[in-house]
């Protein structure tokens, strides 16, 4: 956790709260939590939403849910594009 705190400028206690809220979901395949570049970017987003934009916790949850939906939709559209391309060849 100290490494993520240094990358994001967020204190470890706050990061633990974000983990409890499931705003960050690290890989737990090893004995310690591993954070990807996406986790670091997401932590920066949460920090910016709260500190720079003044969005409360409920609002942060809504924004993150919408971002996740958007990324899921983009992934689905990409898969559909490849499937269409494969069937047309």
Q: pLDDT per residue over 10-36, tens digit each?
A: 999 999 999 999 999 988 776 778 888
Topology adopted by domain 2-88 = Multidrug-efflux Transporter Regulator; Chain: A; Domain 2 (1.10.1660)
Which sequence spans correspond to the domains of the chain? 2-88
Q: Give mean pLDDT, residues 35-52.
A: 94
- By the 8 A CB rule, do 43 and 17 touch? no
Q: What's the confidence (pLDDT) of residue 79?
A: 94
What length does the chain have?
89
Name 56's Cβ contacts closer than 8 Å, sequence gap at least 6: 50
Q: Confirm if 23 and 45 have CB atoms less than 8 A apart.
A: no
pTM of the model: 0.82
Mean pLDDT for the stretch of residues 68-75 = 96
């Amino acid at each position: 956790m100290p490494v993520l705190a240094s990358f994001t400028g967020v204190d470890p206690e706050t990061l633990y709260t974000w983990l409890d809220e499931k705003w960050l979901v690290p890989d737990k395949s090893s004995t310690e939590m591993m954070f990807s570049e996406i986790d670091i970017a997401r932590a920066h987003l949460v920090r910016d939403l709260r500190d720079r934009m003044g969005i409360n916790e409920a609002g942060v949850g809504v924004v993150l849910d919408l971002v996740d939906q958007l990324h899921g939709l983009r992934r689905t559209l990409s898969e559909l594009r490849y499937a269409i391309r494969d069937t047309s060849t």
